[in-house]
Structure 1
Amino acid sequence: MTTQISSRQAARRHPRGLATLVLAEMWERFSLYGMVAILVHFLAAPAAHGGMGLDEGTAEAVEGVYMAMICLLALPGGWVADRFLGARRAVLWGGLVIMAGHIAMAIPGHGGVWPGLCLIVVGTGLLKPNISAMVGRLYAADDDQRRDAGYSLFYMGINFGAVLSPIVVGYLGEEIDWHLGFGAAAVGMALGLSQYVLGGRRLSGLREEPVVRPTAAERRKLLRSGAYSAAGTAVLITALAATHALSIDNVTFVLTVIAVVVPAGYLWSMYRSPKVTGAERTKIKAYVWLFVAAALFWMVYDQMGNELNLFAAEKTDLSLFGWHIPASWTQTLPSLFVIVLAPVFAAFWVRRGRRMSTPLKFGLALVLVGASFFVMAAASAIASNGVRVSLMWLVGVYVIQVMGEMCLSPVGLSVTTKLAPRAFTNQMMGVWFLAAATGDAIGAQLPRLGHTVMSQSMNFLWQGALCAVAGVGLALATRKLRALMSEHPDKAPETAAVTVAA
């Protein structure tokens, strides 16, 4: 009897390496989201207050494009691990590069800001996709239940780090010194790396070598392509500098175009690939609509880091129990609501969600995120009279947005796997994250409209209306999209309502 009980307990127990990966990722997210919570404030703050003194529209564009590049580089980051470094070394090197970026930003003055942001983007592209993949590889191929539970714990760790970081980094950055806040983010990444290295023995069962090493011919081709790309980039930068067109705004515009063109090109090449069957092409057609819907969702949702962050600082009454809280603390709210609402939505999807098709869930997500910007339009209209609005306006907005995220993010992960062509099964998850890159990049430019061609309230209003109309249209097209996807609501796969703070 004792032996049988011990065997059952062992079957329920998670691999010891899970704790190592959860804590490492929690501290990495602490460093990322802490820095993001103060980034737009630092960029827009006048030089007299230690900031960069950028125009608000430019500061918001930089923050949004920065987040877009993090999502965009997840795809090549996974490829580098598969072909050259292996996942374990890619995570280690990625963490070291991230920490170097935060250290560069912590140096007093502005000289380390742009190199630091570039280093963090590259390092996160290496670390993020590979540490997520390593979690799944801790479990046997047929151990689906424990793997799902393991990912739930992993994502809860992510959101816990995202809740804690704005409080620590935000206070140090806003109230004491910007660079001290960036330094705290570096300390967070150092703690994550220490946890990862010290717990390495728990990961001994994971493959350290690349999955497929490139042949000599492939390496030569890669070197030529890299050299041509580097030369082309150098020529472009030189030409822009010679014509006095090399500005921060123009760089963000170029990166926005890249974030739109690359995913579109990737989906097109996948659709035209001879490795894809006719039936799979039909599913890709359906997936394109879901991809566009996801990009629209993230276009609005991820403005919390720039437009809504500045709204908190400039137009929101941040008095709480007689104490003025830093604006960056409002960035804890979305992750906090994810932790609170995830179990609720998990229970709902199990009981009722199987009757709702994927397009309908995506449509609901778009309607909700659109409604959140209707609320922001009202708050902005009130604040336009010089009155600071209650913090409860932002609380309500974030509750609505997180409800939308619960309808889209976990469902999107599931449907991406379901609709993936056989030849692109592993790469398809990276394609899903490209939707966030596209949405973030476009959303980075939209706040400019509220500073130039229309009021901020009207800017919120038309974006909310666009998402709401798109959501209704997607819901109306449910039957057609279900046919393309070969999906039936009563047979739709169950999805766990646990979402990544990407």
Structure 2
Amino acid sequence: MAVSQSGRAQGGRTFFGHPWGLATLFFTEMWERFSFYGMRSLLVLFLAAPVAQEGMGLSDGTASAVVGVYQGMVYFVALPGGWIADRILGARRSVLWGGVVIMSGHISLAIPGDAFVWIGLVLIVIGTGLLKPNISTMVGFLYRGEEEARRDAGFSIFYMGINLGGFVAPFITGTLGQNVNWHLGFATAAVGMALGLIQYVLGGRGLGEAGLKPTNPAPPQTHRRFYLLLVATAVGLVVVGGLSAAVGWFSVDNVTYAIAVFAVLTTVGFFFYVFRGKHGLTPVERSNMRAYIWLFTAAAIFWMIYDQAASVLSLFAQDNTDLSVFGWDMPSSWTQSINPVMIIALAPVFAALWVGPGRRFSTPAKFASALILVGGSYVVMALVQSFADSGVKVTVLWMVLVYFLQTCGELALSPVGLAITTKLAPAKLASQMLGAWFLATAVGDAIGGQMARLKGTVLSGPMYFLFLGLLAVLAGIALFMFVTRLRALMGENEEEAAAAQAGPPTA
């Protein structure tokens, strides 16, 4: 490993020529993602498995809805998680306590009993909200005062840890969970998070001052109000749950409905606050935000389909896919490793594309392409489901094709999402707008979980995939039609800006 100036400043050791602290954060993130994706590869299968097979016995629709709102809340709580780090705990302690809470959640899932399942999911959501946004912030701290290219290279290495953990996890947790015992698989996820925490604590010296203190510490009275709000929220949820149970409204299905509605209403409220609040938005900032709403909507539609990999596609792999390899049936959860390994392989290709022949491909065009690709994957799934409905298990190569299309879509949309958010954000709302990108995923996942209820009930399997696939494709085509208008709203071309005075796109 090459020795860099910043590496010498931290004791001489480097990590691929970068500050040694990057190694600590890389492996923390890798093990956290191992635990997250390992558990996720089992979750819907466990929820939908019959009680006789030690599962929860939920219907496929309800199980998919639970996974959808769970994933949505993981991204939703990144907003308060970032605030807690900035104002109260600091990023360093937020990551530590977040990891402890995540590990506790996986331990809870490892204990037989329905109550422990729900407690475990809640704990993982809370812990991920503390860890996920703040560990990325700490990577940025390591590169303060350094050139942007070196910082980008550091983040590229860091993000490789995400996909490495996601790739390896299903092979271990999936094998143990599906072939031995569900709860043993969940316990393995807890062990992975524990390993991440151990090396995070032991490697703390290499982090220097990164994240030790809140960047914008709150006064003591704000601390008190925050803790009172936490207590009040917890009490309120218990009261609402108790009253709902008393009148017969409390059920798994109703909870998922409520969470999905909450995610949507919160998002609507946020954008109302942006446009109607007293922020002194300039005409240019208002124009930028009008464009951003369309990009936000496109992102929500994308994630609505893309993140059904953990629910609808996982169940399809289990029930309708031929997983025999030389006479041995591999666990269906292994299919969840296809996407991470494709990201690892294709990310350099797309990076070269965007700085080469695709450098003039605008952000709205990238978003439109992502929608068409993810929609196309579900059009393919409609055909594949029709084959499966005829009584023939389909080859796993169909799943590879579906995940290939979705991965290409992700690489066209996800890397530029935060970048365009920071570019279009009003000056007075810059930090808050970073959370808006996570809201798009939260809304998409929550709605996608509810949409999954339609499969096999309101719509046949092929019609379900065809409906969502064509919806995304048509949304992508509509976005392509208004690329010029959106670029004008974003101020990318003065002549196009003049043409945009007629108003926002009406697609």
Equivalents in 2 of 1:378, 1:207: separation in Å? 50
Q: Deviations over 1:228-253 (max 9, x none)?
A: 54454333222211111100000000
What residue ranges of structure 2 are gaps of 5+ in the alignment? 10-15, 495-507
Q: CA deviation at 1:455?
A: 0.1
Corresponding residue for residue 435 of structure 1: 440
Q: 1:180-219, aligned counterparts within 5 Å?
A: 180-219=184-223
Matched, 1:263 2:267: yes
Residue 174 of structure 2 corresponds to which residue in structure 1? 170
- TM-superposition CA deviations, 1:375-423 (whole Å, max 9, x none): 0000001111121111111110000000011110012122111111112
Query: Per the alignment, in what secondary structure is the counterpart of residue 430 of structure 1?
Result: helix
Q: 1:324 aligns with which of 313, 329, 333?
A: 329
Give the Å deviation of 1:259. Answer: 1.4
Q: Does the 8 Å CA contact 1:357/1:487 hold for their aligned counterparts?
A: no
User: What secondary structure is seen at the aligned counterpart in 1 of 2:213?
Assistant: coil
SS in 1 for 2:359: helix
Q: Which residue of 1 aligns with 2:501?
A: none
Which amino acid counterpart does residue 429 of structure 2 have in structure 1? F
Please, which moves more after superposition, 92-101 or 228-237?
228-237
Question: Is contact 1:291-1:432 (8 Å) kept?
Answer: yes
CA distance in structure 1 between the aligned counterparts of 2:228 and 2:332, rounded to whole angstroms: 48
Q: Which amino acid aligns with 2:367?
A: F
Q: What's the counterpart of residue 163 of structure 2? A: 159
Amino acid at match of 1:431: A
Partner AA of 1:476 in structure 2: M
- Cα distance in 1 for partners of 2:316, 2:290 equals 38
Match runs of 1:441-456 below 5 Å: 441-456=446-461
Q: Partners of 2:48 and 2:94 in 1: how far apart? A: 34
Residues 64-90 of structure 1: per-residue CA shift (max 9 Å, x gap): 111111000001000011111100000
Residue 472 of structure 1 corresponds to 477
CA offsets 1:181-206 (integer angstroms, 9 cap, x no match) = 00100000001001100000001221
> Structure 1 pair 265/106, CA: closer, same or farther in 2 (3 Å)?
same
Whether the 8 Å CA contact 2:88–2:223 is kept in 1: the answer is no
> Would the aligned equivalents of 1:105 and 1:113 in 2 still touch at CA under 8 Å?
yes
Which position in structure 2 is the counterpart of 1:312?
A: 317
Inter-partner Cα distance in structure 2 for 1:6 and 1:156: 21
* 1:204–1:242 CA distance, 2 compared to 1 (3 A): same
Q: How far, CA to CA, are the matches of 2:472 and 2:145 in structure 1?
A: 39
SS in 1 for 2:212: coil
Which of 80, 99, 104 aligns to 1:100? It is 104
**Aligned partner of residue 208 in structure 1, secondary structure:** coil
* Root mean square deviation of aligned Cα: 1.9
1:319-398 matches, within 5 Å, as: 319-398=324-403
Whole-Å separation in 2 of the counterparts to 1:144 and 1:214: 30
CA distance in 2, matches of 1:295, 1:453: 23
Note if contact 1:102-1:120 (Cα within 8 Å) is conserved in structure 2.
yes
Pick one of 71, 74, 94 that aligns with 1:70.
Answer: 74
Give distance in 2, aligned partners of 1:15 and 1:425: 28
2:278 corresponds to: 274
2:98/2:129 contact within 8 Å kept: yes
**Contact in 1 for aligned 2:4/2:18 (Cα 8 Å):** no
Q: Report the identity percentage.
A: 54
Question: Distance in 2 between the 1:347 and 1:219 partners?
Answer: 47
**Which secondary structure does the structure 2 equivalent of 1:123 belong to?**
helix
> 2:70 is paired with a residue of what secondary structure?
helix
Q: Is the 8 A contact 1:357 1:488 kept in 2?
A: no
Residue aligning to 1:291: 296
Give distance in 2, aligned partners of 1:8 and 1:37. Answer: 39
Q: What is the match of residue 116 of structure 1?
A: 120
Once the two structures are TM-superposed, the CA of residue 8 in structure 1 deviates from its matched residue by: 11
Task: After superposition, give the CA deviation of every residue in 1:419-448 in whole Å (9 maximum; x if it has no partner).
Answer: 111122223222101100000001101121
Task: Give the conservation status (yes or no) of the 8 Å contact 1:307–1:447.
Answer: yes
Distance across 2 between alignment mates of 1:228 and 1:278: 40
2:249 matches 1:242: no
CA distance in 2, matches of 1:224, 1:116: 24
Q: Measure, in 2, the Cα distance between the counterparts of 1:285 and 1:232.
A: 36
**Structure 2 counterpart of 1:422:** 427
- 5+ long unaligned stretches in structure 1: 490-502
Counterparts of 1:30 and 1:217 in 2: how far apart (Å)? 38
Question: Aligned residue for 2:486?
Answer: 481
* Farther-moved stretch of structure 1 (142-151 vs 74-83): 142-151
Deviates more, 1:106-115 or 1:193-202: 106-115
Of 26, 33, 36, the match for 1:32:
36
Q: Deviations over 1:105-149 (max 9, x none)?
A: 111333311111110000000000000111011002452111100
> How do residues 42-81 of structure 1 correspond to structure 2 at under 5 angstroms?
42-81=46-85
The corresponding residue for 2:13 is: none
Instruction: Confirm or deny: 8 A CA contact 2:24 2:203 kept in the other structure.
Output: yes
| Closer/same/farther in 2, CA of residues 283 and 19 from structure 1, 3 Å limit | same
Contact 2:6–2:18 under 8 Å retained in 1: no
**In the aligned structure 2, how far is the partner of 1:399 from the partner of 1:189?**
29
